[in-house]
Amino acid sequence: MRSKRIQNQIFIFHRYLGLGVGCIVAVIGITGSLLVFQPNIEQFWVTQGFDPIIPQAQRISIETAVSTVQAAYKDLDLKPTTIKALPENNFYSVRLSDKKKRLDVFLNAYTGEILGDRTYEHTLMANLLELHVSLFAGDMGTVITGIVAFLLLSLSLTGTILWPGWRKLSTGFKIKLKAHPKRTNFDIHKVAGIIAAFFLCLTSFTGFCWNFYDWTTPLIYAVTFTKEPTDLTSTPIQGQSPLGLDEILRRSDVALPGTITTYIYPPTEPEEVFTIGKRYPSTPSGDGQSSVELDRYSGAVLRVWDERSLPLGDKVLNSFESLHYGTFGGLPTRILYVFVGFAPIVLLVTGFVMWKHRRREGISKTTSFFLAKRL
């Protein structure tokens, strides 16, 4: 009897929480589905939007590419903040930024020819990402979506507890299409919910941790007994200019031999450090999870992150991206995540229909009771 009462309370909590945050969850889910293939869409946009690139024997150096961009855009007074050099692409991209603007410039990786540029904030992917992360509401929106992510985790867990398949497995996955519409609607809700529940738990948990990064990261380091990394700085040397990018890259290659440079975060302030993203050839395409941080003046290697031997806390944090975007299983899991992203809208609609039926039944019973009393 007591377990029945607890299950009833869980059901009420699940129902009204779903109705309360369902619309926001649906928006986050749909935009998340569209962002799963963001890198592919970005690459397609570049290859289709500009002149075809004919691969050649050798690429120009990354330092030459950055210098070319700086010379061409010197009047804008923007600093290079991100350089992408993925080996699977035939182009380099250099992001020039200030506090208000981010301009992406694309170059032919073999000839150094500037293919074109775009203002990042004006792109479809940038707007989808902002809607997904903050609902176009800035820092307050980020807090709201972080809270909603936690509530989605609660919905996924309570829905799993309420799933009827725990009593009989076959009933948990059966959809009776020829039954009464009310029953069919319930079956769609329970099957869509249980299939998506595990993956919604992963995306909601990682999304919550990202949106509350300042709180969750120290907690993850503490729980995994991992020392939290300290901030690094470059030490200016009297009378010496910062080292060139080619020399920095050479030293990063020595620090992590056998790796491929995928991205570069150059320092924008005098005491900031270089961060060079690395990937092992055996790692699937993407940025990789290794990096080298170097002093911009002396070129000293200040810290090395080797994905093959990361501390536990950093392994957990680095796993968030693949768990959130579904890249951990390659193309099949990414396609699955597209459908998972649409699950909240299905669950919202079917959940609303169930609530409407129950409400109508409740009103009918109340009306019948008062009519009987009057008679």
At 264-293, the pLDDT tens digits run 999 999 999 999 999 999 887 789 999 999
Over residues 51-73, the mean pLDDT reads 93
User: For residue 200, is it within any domain?
Assistant: yes
pLDDT score at 28: 97
Tell me the average pLDDT of the chain: 92
Asked whether residue 316 carries a pLDDT value surpassing 90, the answer given is: yes
Q: How confident is the model at residue 23 (pLDDT cuts 50, 70, 90)?
A: very high
Q: Which residue has the higher pLDDT, 97 or 4?
A: 97
Looking at residue 371, its pLDDT comes to 39
User: What band does 363 get if pLDDT is binned at 50, 70 and 90?
Assistant: low
User: Mean pLDDT across the stretch 44-62?
Assistant: 87
Residue 19 has pLDDT above 50, yes or no: yes
Q: Place 1 in a pLDDT band, splitting at 50, 70 and 90.
A: low
> Would you mind telling me the total number of residues written for the chain in this entry?
375
Q: Is 70 a residue whose pLDDT tops 90?
A: yes
Give the closest residue to 42 by CA, choosing from 101, 118, 110: 118
Q: Would residue 181 count as lying in a domain? A: yes
Q: What is the pLDDT of residue 256?
A: 97
Distance CA 140, CA 146 (A): 10
Give yes or no for residue 2 having a pLDDT over 80.
Answer: no
Q: Is residue 63 part of a domain?
A: no
Does residue 69 form part of some domain?
no
pLDDT for residue 198 is more than 60: yes
Task: Give the residue, 124 or 147, on which the prediction is more confident.
Answer: 147
Domain that holds residue 208: 2-37+127-225+332-364
Q: Percent helix, strand and coil across the chain, each rounded to 5?
A: 60, 15, 30
Reported as a pLDDT band with limits 50, 70 and 90, residue 368 is very low
Q: How many domains does the chain have?
A: 1
**pTM of structure:** 0.89
Average pLDDT over residues 320-327: 94
Give the Cα separation of 291 and 303 in Å (integer): 8
Residue 294 lies in a domain: no
User: pLDDT category, 362, cuts 50, 70, 90?
Assistant: low
- Class of residue 253 by CB neighbours under 10 A (exposed 0-12, middle 13-18, buried 19+): middle
Assign 370 a pLDDT band (cuts: 50, 70, 90): very low
Of the candidate ranges 171-185, 283-297, 329-343, 358-372, the one whose mean pLDDT is the lowest:
358-372
Would the pLDDT of 314 be above 70?
A: yes
Answer yes or no: is 255 within a domain.
Answer: no
The answer to whether residue 239 is domain-embedded is no
Question: What pLDDT score was predicted for residue 208?
Answer: 98
Dist. CA 338–CA 251, nearest whole Å: 40
Q: Which long-range contacts (CB under 8 A, 24 or more apart) does 250-258 make?
A: 251/292, 251/294, 251/299, 251/301, 252/276, 252/278, 252/292, 252/294, 252/301, 255/292, 255/294, 255/301, 255/304, 256/290, 256/292, 256/304, 256/306
217 confidence band (pLDDT: 50, 70, 90):
very high
The arithmetic mean of pLDDT across residues 31-48, rounded, is: 88
pLDDT tier at 361, thresholds 50, 70, 90: low
Band (pLDDT 50/70/90 cuts) for residue 226 is very high
| pLDDT value of position 291 | 97
248 lies in a domain?
no
pLDDT at 41: 87
CB 186 within 8 A of CB 198: no
